[in-house]
Structure 1
Amino acid sequence: MGQKRSRDQAMDDGDGKPGQTTSPYVAMFEGFRKELDEHHDRRERIVKASRDITAVSKKIIFSLQRARNLGQSLPPFIVKSNTQYWETIEKQYRAVSADLQGLNVYRYDRQITGGNQEFVEALTFQHYLETQTLITYEEAKARVAAMGGEEGAVQLAPEDYVLGVFDMVGELMRFSISFMASNGKLPAGKTLQDSKAKEEPPEEQTGDKPETDEPVPAEAKEQQPRNALSDLRELRLRLEMFEPPPKSKFNEEVEKKMGVMRECVEKVEKALYSLTVRGQERPKGWMPDVKEDRWAEVESY
């Protein structure tokens, strides 16, 4: 009877509340619970930010598809409509920048990778439309880091950059096919003659110049503007040379996107064939019919 009373007294915490223990492990497990709660809350914030960045980046890409020039500044209406989207992306990165510091950069890389890839896709697509060049990893990394704000820079993994470039090929395919369906030719940068005409004064342009039958120099031919298909082929060549680490998650994702990337380039090649070869069989002034199979490659996108 005395032993039972002693056990009951040992279970009291001094306030007369039975059922509580003074075991030193309680505080330790309470600390574990707090850390797990913080981990889940942090993870949910990053997942939500990644989804929002993905959704807004898609809106930017959709707006960029309305551009009709290559190698030139974007039209003002596109810049105006996309300004709010870029601000939203910066706000989302700033909201989770504190959660993506130190070891958390690698702990939550799978949660932020979707947003990073979609952002890189939008960033590289806009950069290509404006300059007809591919933005470098260092430039994209600096752009993401600048959005972190005072809490710290958000890191852009090289894997996210590469996968974003793979996705950008699909958007360039859609842009090229839409351009061909509307203009009857591949999108290309400024011609050599146009760039020279802007540099020459008006009196030299209208003055009498002797006509010559000299062939076009080889250097002038090399300076002819690149079109979207030549750039797509160059991208395909470079991406096919890329060798990710074997037996890794990154390698699996690259293999999936590699097949899609090749299909996108082939679609532009087939569309150009349909436009060039089959299009010449039509009379002057003829407009393609969406129901005709031979124009399906151009009009189905």
Structure 2
Amino acid sequence: MLQRYALLQRISVMALKPHRLHNLADTTSLGVAKRPRTMATESSSSSMKDAFSQYADYLNNQNDKRERIVKASRDITMNSKKVIFQVHRMSKHNREEVLQKAEKDLAAVTDQFVARLVKELQGTDFWKLRRAYSPGIQEYVEAATFCKFCRTGTLLNLDEMNATLLPLSDPSLEPLQINVLDYLLGLADLTGELMRLAIGRISDGEVEFAENICKFVREIYRELTLVVPFMDDSNDMKTKMDTMLQSVMKIENACFSVHVRGSEYMPLLGSEDPTSFLLAVPSVDI
């Protein structure tokens, strides 16, 4: 009986020992596992906070830069329009005076407002902020090419325009260069101003000058019709092509009317003969 009792006691002890050892091992393993996990969580949380803070600062700086670029673009647009309006005041009597004033104003736009834009964009990816400054650059291209045509009757090309911007840039940084798309968009707007100039020159009797404008605008339209279909981002350009075609047709119709019915508008074309502007008949004193 005693032997049987001792055997049962020994079996119970042997059955209990693995459970105690297993529980002790589980407790130890949990304690060891919790400590590294807590430390890793704290370090990763701190690194995420630092990364988020840096990204927030980057976004704030980019927003501030964008606002400054938009302001510079608006100033370029406004002052370039003033240059264009100045050129439209030109006539055969004050041509040189008006062009000198317009070219001087254009140089001021370059030195003051375009230089500010160049300073903001240096060292950055120009395409990321292109939408912010593109309207001002297009207007600047329009004003510069307008002055060049009225002075020489030729087109100011993209390389010549970018050459004028190089002195404004820091040689150690990537300079701002006008891209082809903005140049072509500004060139499309130029045809509208040339149409207005041609109509004004016809009214002042400078029919030959208007005909030169007509040939020039027609050539621009013809060249762009060959280029635009192959452009990737050409939605704006396609819209302006329709407006450009209307400008070409208006200039052609005005020049054609002068040749066909020019005798009816002799006083309007600068004739010294005091005749009626309707049918070129002498005015009658009452």
What is the TM-score normalised by the length of structure 1? Answer: 0.67
Alignment pair present for 1:140 and 2:157: no
Q: 1:123 to 1:88 in 2, by over 3 A?
A: closer
Between the aligned partners of 2:146 and 2:98, the Cα distance in structure 1 is 17
Between the aligned partners of 2:264 and 2:193, the Cα distance in structure 1 is 30
Aligned to 1:64: 87
Aligned to 1:104: 125
Contact residue 63 and residue 82 of structure 1 kept, 8 A: no
Aligned ranges 1:1-301 → 2 under 5 Å: 23-68=46-91, 75-80=96-101, 83-148=104-169, 153-183=175-205, 185-187=207-209, 227-245=212-230, 248=232, 250-281=233-264, 285-286=274-275, 288=277
Code of the residue aligned with 2:188 in structure 1: it is F
Q: 1:263 to 1:282 in 2, by over 3 A?
A: closer
Between the aligned partners of 1:282 and 1:52, the Cα distance in structure 2 is 42
Q: SS at the partner of 1:242?
A: helix
Q: 1:38 to 1:135 in 2, by over 3 A?
A: same
Between the aligned partners of 2:193 and 2:206, the Cα distance in structure 1 is 19
Please state which structure has a larger fraction of its residues in helix: 2
Between the aligned partners of 2:276 and 2:80, the Cα distance in structure 1 is 34
What is the CA distance between 1:231 and its match in structure 2?
1.8
Q: SS at the partner of 1:23?
A: helix
Contact residue 97 and residue 149 of structure 1 kept, 8 A: no
Contact residue 97 and residue 152 of structure 1 kept, 8 A: no
Unaligned runs of 5+ in 2: 1-44, 267-272, 280-286
Contact residue 43 and residue 111 of structure 1 kept, 8 A: yes
What is the CA distance between 1:26 and its match in structure 2?
2.2
Larger relative contact order (CA 8 Å, sep ≥ 6): 1
Between the aligned partners of 2:244 and 2:277, the Cα distance in structure 1 is 27
Task: Tell me how large the CA RMSD over aligned residues is.
Answer: 2.8
Aligned length: 228
Contact residue 166 and residue 258 of structure 1 kept, 8 A: yes
Aligned to 1:10: none
Code of the residue aligned with 1:233 in structure 2: it is R
Between the aligned partners of 1:186 and 1:227, the Cα distance in structure 2 is 6
Code of the residue aligned with 1:252 in structure 2: it is N
Between the aligned partners of 2:184 and 2:276, the Cα distance in structure 1 is 39
Contact residue 57 and residue 118 of structure 1 kept, 8 A: yes
What is the CA distance between 1:34 and its match in structure 2?
0.9
Q: 1:149 to 1:38 in 2, by over 3 A?
A: same
Between the aligned partners of 2:264 and 2:97, the Cα distance in structure 1 is 39
Q: SS at the partner of 1:97?
A: helix
> Which has the greater radius of gyration?
2
Contact residue 74 and residue 130 of structure 1 kept, 8 A: no
Q: SS at the partner of 2:84?
A: helix
What is the TM-score normalised by the length of structure 2? Answer: 0.71
Between the aligned partners of 2:75 and 2:130, the Cα distance in structure 1 is 16
Unaligned runs of 5+ in 1: 1-21, 189-225, 293-301
Between the aligned partners of 1:177 and 1:287, the Cα distance in structure 2 is 21
Contact residue 187 and residue 228 of structure 1 kept, 8 A: yes
What is the CA distance between 1:180 and its match in structure 2?
0.2
Between the aligned partners of 2:123 and 2:276, the Cα distance in structure 1 is 59
Contact residue 169 and residue 261 of structure 1 kept, 8 A: yes
Map Cα deviations across residues 170-192 of structure 1 (whole Å, 9 max, x no partner): 1111111100011162316xxxx
Between the aligned partners of 1:229 and 1:23, the Cα distance in structure 2 is 68
What is the CA distance between 1:97 and its match in structure 2?
2.2
